[in-house]
Amino acid sequence: MEYKPGQLIRWIEDWNTYTASETGEVRGLDPNYRYAIITSVAFDNSSIIAYCYDSNILDWVILSPELDHFQIISEEK
């Protein structure tokens, strides 16, 4: 996938609620998303820099598509 500045992305930061199965497997039920706008992309698409507009603590983040599993939710055509 090609990433470019201006794309709106989101990723799961944490879970608001969890559930456990009878075997003890715990899974997240209600995701807590972080939202950001991509501002820069590495030449090989291995990382991006994005501005989080919904955060009180961190404004700028560096994300890896392989590790952070973010998804594009809006982009300019």
pLDDT digits (tens, 9 = 90+) for 28-54: 999 999 899 999 999 998 999 999 877
Does this model's pTM top 0.95? My answer is no
In b/e form, how buried is each residue of 22-55, taking b as 16+ CB within 10 angstroms?
A: eeeeeeeeeeeebbbebeebeeeeebbebebeee
* Residues linked to residue 19 through DSSP beta bridges, in sequence order: 27
Min mean pLDDT across 9-18, 22-31, 57-66 is at: 57-66
pLDDT at 57: 66
Give me the residue spans of the domains in the chain.
8-74
